[in-house]
Homo-oligomer: A and B are copies of this chain.
Amino acid sequence: MTFDPDQRRSGCPVSCSLDLLGDKWSLLIVRDMVFVHKRYFKEFLTSDEGIATNILTDRLGKLEAAGIISKRPDPDNGRQVIYTLTDKGVALVPLLVELVCWGALYDNAPDADADIVRSISKDKQRFVNKLTNAIQR
């Protein structure tokens, strides 16, 4: 399964990004990998939004086809699979930070701590670096 660039709706970078990420689930998987270091199939199933197994399978496949994540067997347990972010996936951290700030500051997301988000939005780059460095490959 590889992503077909001919399916792009246009050459616009915004459009190309949305071709891969423009749905309600893909970025939630990346979020879980970035913010809470989830790596296993079952871990993604436990998030509050309640993704179904078939949707999770589909999105993991599409994210891998897009080169955003990669999978390998868990060295500690051959029957487990570990999903990790590629460089292309890690590069989504700034985008996720913007989604957090906008949702918190402008859409009043209930779970957001206003003080923390204000401090993040004052120095996004620092927060992006901190998150990026904490990601396990």
Contact = CB atoms under 8 A, between A and B. Distances in A.
A111 interface: yes
B92 A102 contact: yes
Interface stretch (A6-14, A37-45, A57-65, A69-77): A6-14
Contacts of A4: none
A99 B17 contact: yes
Chain A binding surface, main DSSP class? helix
A78 interface: no
B102 A17 contact: yes
Interface in A1-45: 8-20, 22-24, 27-28, 31
A83 B9 CA distance: 24
A96 B9 CA distance: 17
Contact of A91 (B10, B87, B105): B105
Interface of A: 8-20, 22-24, 27-28, 31, 47-50, 66, 87-88, 91-92, 94-96, 98-107, 109-112, 117
